[in-house]
A and B are shown apart, each in its own frame.
Chain A
Amino acid sequence: MKRAHLSDDRLIEICLADPLAPLDEPHLRNCERCERRRLVLASTLGDVTARVISEADAAFPAERLGRQHARIMQQLAHLGRPARVIAFPAGRTQEPARPSVRHARRWFAATGAVAVAFLVGIFTEHLAHQLPAGGVPQTRMASRAADTPVTRTVVASMSDDELLGQIELAVGRTGPAALRPLDALTPRAWDDVH
């Protein structure tokens, strides 16, 4: 009768367990082949573990660990302490105002601003009453109002061709003279058609 060998998965289970499972221990003792397979797997796992550890240790040598330890303890020493305020400009350390004083100052400033605004309003109204009824400002407004309809009628009566012509003239007059030779050299689609 041929003896059954251990499956690969069972071998992995055995390698991850210790002591050996009672069921498989006799088989491993008697089966050289399965024992050899188990040793190969255990060796592979040992190599992986050693490699993984050596990688991490190479990345973190003792000096680096020492620096890290010092940084951790330095940060812990500053835990819970208030932040240091750096004076700016240097040498002029200004005591921060107390909250109650700051609060009172704000109230004074707000009350003063309201009073000034009230006085300015009264003064303006007083000036408005003293000025003559048909003064300069009203005349100017009337003249502006009279000008507007004239402009509108001119624009409305102008045809599209006239408007475009005026735009071309305006552009021609104000365009930079240095660009005119370049414009002359540029082929025009309209000239090709005609």
Chain B
Amino acid sequence: MSSTAPKTAARVHPLPTSRDSELAASIKALVLAGERDAARERFADLVSRQQRRAVRIAYNYLRDAHDADEAVQDAFLKVFTHITSYREEYPFEVWFTRILVNGCLDLRKARTRRLRWALPMSSQPNAPSMPEPAAQQPSPEDRLMSSERARQITSAVEQLPDRQRLVFTLCHISEHTTSEISQALGLSEATVRVHLFRAVRKLRKLLERPRESARTHPRGLDPETPTV
């Protein structure tokens, strides 16, 4: 069994000049030269490269496909309209992630305002406030994994606080380093590490398999064995 956990320590100092960063720099140069049509054509390539990653982040943060769709579209439009303010010395992915996450936060606030007025009108007082579209959509993963386990995992991820879920998503799905996440979210790296640590600890607690945990560490560890 190989570990799929993120390699945070190994990616603390990434190379800023990725392929996407180069693309973004060339688009910026084209816009500054007044060649907007050529810039748009090149931007289409950049959208294709970043789109999948963007919808994963937005969907896991917002937990709603329509909102995630809107957030991703807005983020790409903002990137193109403000491409002249992109600084080439930083990775494009970090700059884009920051724009995307800010858009997600705005959408989330707007949705909270909408729900504040919509909930009293609801005929089902016990209806869940968070939509769960993914739980009803079959996927290849559902076929491979037992549905019960999949439900457990979805439920556990949804129980994470927003910030912890976002940090976990950026680290494990988007494969950002803690340094990149701290730049994207405007938090210190230590704070990002704490959020990540707490997210993993909470997930572990929620998803602990009874059989395996009983075999390996019934109450975390044997009481007679000291720990370090």
Contact = CB atoms under 8 A, between A and B. Distances in A.
B77 A8 contact: no
A15 B3 contact: yes
A158 B124 CA distance: 64
A73 B39 CA distance: 11
B40 A58 contact: no
Chain A facing B: main interface SS: helix
B149 to A, nearest CB: 7
B48 interface: yes
B32 interface: no
Interface in B127-163: 133-134, 137-142, 145, 149-150, 153-154, 156-157
Contacts of A163: none
Interface string A28-62: 00000100110111111111111111111111100
Contacts of B133: 59
A42 B56 CA distance: 21
A12 B204 contact: yes
B7 A18 contact: yes
Interface in A61-93: 64-65, 68-69, 71-73, 75-77, 79-80
Nearest to A2: B225
Given A12-B200, A17-B8, A76-B40, A56 B216 contact: no
Nearest to A13: B197
From A42, A44, A57, A73, residue with most partner B Cβ within 10 Å: A44
Chain B facing A: main interface SS: helix
A16 interface: yes
Interface residues of B, number: 71
B156 A54 contact: no
B200 A15 contact: yes
Contacts of A42: 1-5
A76 B80 contact: yes
Given A2-B226, A55-B59, A16 B200 contact: yes
A56 B55 contact: yes
Contacts of B36: 80
Given A2-B226, A69-B44, A69-B47, A17 B9 contact: yes
Given A56-B55, A72-B47, A49 B173 contact: yes
A48 B153 contact: yes
A181 interface: no
Interface stretch (B66-74, B84-92, B93-101, B103-111): B66-74
B180 to A, nearest CB: 15
Given A16-B200, A51-B154, A56-B55, A73 B4 contact: no
A102 B15 CA distance: 60
A9 interface: yes
B89 to A, nearest CB: 26
A55 B134 contact: yes
Contacts of B68: 59-60
A45 to B, nearest CB: 5
Given A46-B4, A48-B157, A56-B173, 19 more contacts: A6-B228, A8-B217, A15-B5, A40-B213, A42-B1, A43-B1, A49-B173, A51-B153, A52-B60, A52-B172, A53-B141, A54-B140, A59-B59, A59-B68, A60-B59, A69-B48, A71-B73, A72-B77, A79-B81
10 contacts: A7-B227, A8-B204, A12-B204, A18-B5, A19-B10, A41-B200, A42-B3, A46-B3, A79-B77, A79-B80
Interface of B: 1-10, 36, 40, 43-44, 47-48, 51-52, 55-56, 59-60, 65, 68-69, 72-73, 76-77, 80-81, 133-134, 137-142, 145, 149-150, 153-154, 156-157, 169, 172-173, 193, 196-197, 200-201, 203-204, 207-209, 212-213, 216-217, 220-222, 224-228
